[in-house]
Every structure is written in structure tokens, then in C-alpha cells.
Amino acid sequence: MASNQSQRVEVYDTTLRDGTQAEGLALSVEDKLRVARQLDRLGLTYLEGGWPGSNPRDREFFAALPTLGLKRIQVAAFGSTHHPSRTPQDDANLAELLAAGTEIITLVGKSSLRHVQSQLQIAPERNLAMAADSVAYLRQKGRRVFFDAEHFFDGFKEDPEYTCAVLAAAAQAGAEALVLCDTNGGSLPELVALATARVKEAHPGLTIGIHTHNDAELAVANTLAAVSAGARQVQGTLGGFGERCGNANLCSLIPNLQLKLGYQCLEPARLQLLSETARLVHELANLPPHRFAPYVGKSAFSHKGGLHISAVEKDPALYEHVNPEAVGNVRRFLVSDLSGRAAILNKAKEWGLDLGADDPEVKAILANLKARENEGYQYEGAEASFELLMNRAMGRHQRYFELVGFRVMNFKDAEGELPRAEATVRVRVGGLEEHTAAMGHGPVNALDRAIRKALVRFFPRLNEVRLVDYKVRVLSGADGTGARVRVLIESSDGVSSWGTVGVSFDVLEASYQALGDSIRYKLFKDQQV
């Protein structure tokens, strides 16, 4: 390991902005808030919340941000330099950035002469003035400004003098960080290191950042090259999500910097949250985690060959380049029952459950977990369901209610009319039975309403619960309409949020499992309080 322990590298996450430009990825406001909370737990330096001038969802995110109570991470709003035909004072984009209320604003500006002339079709001097005036205006408003030099490396190859002049204009106007962007993702490490070193030499008092894309499969390598040349802010996304081929993957970048090169990125204890964080982001994005991802993938520390297993049991370093626990992952022997035990014990400790490694309950939980995972259950993003599972194994489970049965009907009156749904539910609480029905926007909504209507008589505080997110994933497309589906829901009572999961060949049954766990967890949580 290199001796860089005294040198800190700031980690700037842009999953909520650049990451959402990935094809097939969409995050709701609630998703974004949940990711922000998790990244705060992880202990990253900065979080780019979005572009408030581009869509209502990002505006809602920034409006809700003060309610999160973030303790570690600093949030930045992202936007561009002012429009060529306007002044900073008259620019709607800059006004939106100020209205977002963040202390930090990340401002993107063109640094490639080719882009200035071909895309913006303005004089090179006008672009320099736009960068300087925009930064100066935001600084006058009391904001810290990071300047993203878009297409920096392509511009550096074509006309390094102009590209560096853009950086100088932003720096002289008060930008505290100059971020060099490989926007097209096609640069090579040698050029990245050369250009970064030149910028660092020209601006020794400023933070130099690096923002790379992965179009040549070099985003992480290019970022490491920039750090070796003096960059001290690295930008990327969880899982490498981003436009086209994605951005630099923080799940690989952070451990490479910290465990391999010795830079300070995260507290060691928080680095152990990395795998959990990666899985949560994939689950909220409704995309399957990449099981073969370095460091955080399910298979990253899995051993199947007999010789490998024998060697790892003697000395894990023989077939593992780092300790999986350092990044919150687990070692898995695919032919044994050892995987998952440590995760169960960690969760038990987190939830105040008294479990030891040799307790029979651990073996029962592990066996149940393996069986359910084989059926398609996944508990990343559904920790409430997993906590209930552990409580059942330990005899701490209370049967708050019993489902007698439910029936759901969909009906459509005529062409052009929207279909309607009605759910009928029978539940038993103690010796009392409740039989009720409810209408809804679709069968799942009708079932949700009917269950709550039936139970609120016995448990009035269920009126506090609302469903804030609902996702369905088909687990095996090859099975067509007979495939199992996994339903993940997030619920909230206004004080806290929790995730639950259900799996079945029937989407209504899977939905009921997740809804039932959500209600049981609320009742359990209230009982604990």
C-alpha cells in the first residue's frame, strides 16, 4: 500500500443527477431521499442532489432536503452557467440554483473550444465571460462554487490554451474546486494524468476534481490516474450508473483509493456499509444488482472450486485481494452453509437481539434465509421483512392478525373507460372477525385499502401509515406469464420509513405478503416503543 494515509480524497456522489441519466433508471423523490440518507450514513463528502432548474422532481427533492437531518454529507445543487443571451441576474437557471438553498453549487461550463463554436455558436470570449460572471454572481450570493469543466480532456487535446483559460476564468471569479470532466469517456490514463498535473501546477491553492465516464471502460482507471497527478476530489456514481456506458463506479473507486493506495476517503467502519449501499441503490432503481461487480457483488468473494475453498480456509489472502468485511461483503463457500452467518449476527446486534454464533436460532434463520432467497426473496431494501423473519425464529413474533381470505375483482364497463377494482377482505383479530371491502385504482391499491380498512378498527395507528413506493420485478422472464414476481414496497408513518418484500407466482399474493409485513412491522415497532 502506498503511504498516502495523511492525504484525504473528497468523494462526490452524483448518482441522483448524472446516475439517473442511465437508460432504464428512474428514481422517485422518495427514492432520492432514501439514497441521500444512506449516503449520509456511508459518510461521503458531497452529494449532488440534482438539477433544480430542469424538472419538478429535483425541486421537490431540494425542498424536502431539510427534513432529512443529514449529519455528514454536504449537498450540492447542479446547473449550468448563464444563458449566452442573458446576464446572471436575469438567468432562470441560476435563480433555481439559489432557490434550492444549498451552500454548494456545482456549475458546469463549456471548456472545449469546439463545443463553444459548434454547439453554443458564440465567441470564445463570451464563453469565458459566462463562466466568470456566473461563478462571481453565485459567490456574491454567499455560495461555494465548484466548476465542472465539461469536455475538458477533449478540449485539452484540441486547444489546451483555451481550455485552461476557461479554468482560469472560473478560478479568478472565486470557484474553490475545478473539476476536469471526461464527458465523452474516451480519454486514456496517460492524457488524464498529464492534463491534471498541468492544472494542479497552475492552480496550487484550489481543489482539483475529476469526473469521468466509462465509454472506453477506463472511468475508474482514469480517475486513479488523475488522483496520482494531484486531483483530490473524485466524482462518480454508485454502481457506475450514468448516460451511455455510465460514470466512474464509486463502489470500485473508493476501496481502490482507500485499501490499495492508502488515501482517506471514508472512516474504515463506514467503508463496511459500501456493499449494503450498492444493493440498496440497485433495489430502489428496480434493477438487479450486478452479482459479479468487484468488491460489492454477491460473487466478489464467492469460492466454488474445491482447491480454492481448501486454500481460503487456511489463508483467505491466497484467493482474496482484500478482506470482504472491509467493504461490508461476505465470503461465500458455494458448497457449504457458512455464508450469511456473519450478516445475521451483525443485523441481530444492530436490532438489539441477543444472538451468538453457535445459537440454534442462527442456524434456523440461515436455513430459512437460504430457502427464501432460492424462491426469489431479497432483503436489501426490505429490512423490515428480514427483522420480522429473525423475530419469528427467536420466538419474539406476535400474531397481530390472521388473514381469513381476500378476493379482488377487476371490471371494465366500456371502451375508453378506465378499469376499476374492488377488494374484499376477511381478517381475524383475537376472537373477532372483520369483513370489509374497498375500491381502488387497480387491484393492488384496492387490496391495500381493504386491508387497512379491516384492521384500523383494532389498530387505529395504522391510519398513520402510507405507502410511499411500490415496485414489481419479474424474476425470470424466460417463464413468461408464469414467472415469479418480487414486490418491494416502502411504507412510512411520518416518523420513519421501512421496506418489505413479497414473492409469488401471483402478483396479488406477493403484494399481500409485502403489505402484510408492512402492517406487522408498524405494529411491532409501536409495541417496542
Q: How confident is the model at residue 346 (pLDDT cuts 50, 70, 90)?
A: low
Phi, psi of 66 (to 5 degrees): -60, -20
Helix or strand holding residue 338 (H, E): none
**Residue 361 forms part of a structural domain:** no
What whole-number distance in Å separates Cα of residue 425 and Cα of residue 405? 6
Q: What is the pLDDT of residue 306?
A: 58
Confidence of residue 340 (pLDDT cuts 50, 70, 90): low
Radius of gyration over every alpha carbon of the chain, rounded to an integer in angstroms: 26
- 160, burial (CB in 10 Å: exposed 0-12, middle 13-18, buried 19+): middle
Q: Which residues of 48-83 are buried (b: 16+ CB within 10 A; e: fewer)?
A: bbbbbbeeebbbbbbeebeeeebeebbbbbbbbbbb
From the number of C-beta atoms within 10 Å of its C-beta (0-12, 13-18, 19+), residue 306 rates as exposed
Distance CA 123, CA 117 (A): 7
| Phi and psi torsions of 420, nearest 5° | -120, 160
Quote the CA–CA distance of 518 and 369 in Å, as a whole number: 19
Residue at a domain's end among 210, 237, 266: 266
We report the CATH number of the domain holding residue 46 as 3.20.20.70
Which residue's C-alpha cell is 391510519?
A: 463
Q: Determine the pLDDT at residue 342.
A: 57
Using pLDDT thresholds of 50, 70 and 90, give the confidence band for residue 6: low
In a domain, 244, yes or no: yes
Q: Using the 8-state DSSP alphabet, how is residue 363 labeled?
A: H
Using DSSP, state whether 261 is helix, strand or coil.
Answer: coil
Q: Find out whether 427 and 433 touch, Cβ atoms under 8 Å.
A: yes
Output the pLDDT for position 337.
40
Last residue of a domain, one of 239, 266, 293: 266
Residue 408 has pLDDT above 80, yes or no: yes
What angle is formed at CA 263 by the lines to CA 259 and CA 267, rounded to 5 degrees?
A: 75
pLDDT, residue 447, reads: 95
Q: What is the DSSP letter of 257?
A: I
Which of 266, 290, 307 is where one domain is finished? 266
d(Cα 78, Cα 94) in Å, to the nearest integer?
10
Sign of the dihedral through C-alpha 366, 372, 374, 380: negative
Percentage of the chain modeled with pLDDT above 90: 74
- The pLDDT of residue 336: 36
Q: Which helix (H) or strand (E) holds 123?
A: none
Instruction: Identify the residue whose cell numbers are 489463508.
Output: 315
Residue bearing the bigger pLDDT, 146 or 3: 146
Cα separation of 184 and 119, whole Å?
A: 15
Contact indicator for 449, 440 with CB cutoff of 8 Å: yes
pLDDT band at 335; cut points 50, 70, 90: very low
The pLDDT value recorded for residue 390 is: 85
pLDDT-derived band at 338, boundaries 50, 70, 90: very low
The predicted structure's pLDDT at residue 343: 60
Residue 226 lies in a domain: yes
Cell 454547439, residue located: 119
- The values of phi and psi at residue 236, to 5°, are -175, -175
- Given this model, what pLDDT does residue 486 score? 94
pLDDT of 5 reads 63
Q: Is 284 exposed, middle or buried (0-12, 13-18, 19+ CB in 10 A)?
A: buried
How do residues 217-246 score in pLDDT, each as one tens digit?
Answer: 999 999 999 999 999 999 999 999 999 999
Q: Report the sign of the C-alpha dihedral through residues 344, 350, 355, 357, in that order.
A: positive
Q: Report yes or no on 372 lying in a domain.
A: no
CA-based torsion, 368, 374, 376, 378: positive or negative: positive
Work out how many domains the chain is built from and give that number.
Answer: 2
pLDDT of residue 210: 98
For the residues 391-412, what does the mean pLDDT come to?
88
What cell was used for 234? 473524485
Q: What is the pLDDT of residues 287-326, one digit of tens each?
A: 888 889 999 998 899 887 657 777 887 899 999 999 999 9
- Specify the pTM: 0.70
Residue 17 covered by a domain = yes
Structural domain of residue 463, as residue ranges?
402-528
Q: Which of 123-127, 217-221, 410-414, 494-498 has the lowest mean pLDDT?
A: 410-414
Q: Is 311 inside any structural domain?
A: no
**For the domain that residue 435 is a member of, what is the CATH number?**
3.30.160.270
* CA 510 from centre of chain: 24
